[in-house]
Amino acid sequence: MVGPGFRHNFKERLMKYACLIYQDEGLLQKMSREEFGDLTAAYKTFHNSVQNSGQYVASHGLSSPHNATTVRVRDGKTLTTDGPFVETKEQLGSIYVIEAADFNDAIRVASKIPSAKFGAIEVRPLWGEG
């Protein structure tokens, strides 16, 4: 029999993982209104599923990489570079922070992120969580 504290004890054993969502910004801009609507609906379904499962911690989309500034400190001097840091087709577009029982569980959740079908999802444990 499961007591009232079971869920609480289970939640304490979960680890937090960042799911970094990389996608080609140009591909998104080329989508038809219908395709973008389908993607938005798929994200809503995914978002609701991780909320309902209790695995959702946080999420947020990012603005275009062209609005980014990269900061480095070298020899005590702060250097900044405008725009995307890496010349690739895929850019970091958003992030989900989830709770999962282990790394394999985190990968299972990340595989359901809609952008995994045309981009890449990097799964990384949060610092101090493992």
**Tens-digit pLDDT profile for residues 57-101:** 999 988 877 777 877 889 989 888 876 555 566 788 899 999 999
CATH number of 25-125: 3.30.70.1060
Average pLDDT over residues 30-38: 96
Confidence of residue 130 (pLDDT cuts 50, 70, 90): low
Average pLDDT over residues 104-112: 94
pLDDT for residue 86: 57
Domain locations in the chain?
A: 25-125
Lowest-pLDDT range of 12-16, 93-97, 109-113: 12-16
Q: What average pLDDT does the chain have?
A: 83
* pTM score: 0.77
Are 20 and 121 in contact by the 8 Å Cβ rule? The answer is yes
pLDDT for residue 52: 96
Average pLDDT over residues 22-35: 91
Residue 106, Cβ density class (10 Å: 0-12 exposed, 13-18 middle, ≥19 buried): buried
Half-sphere exposure of 100 (CA within 13 A, CB side): 21
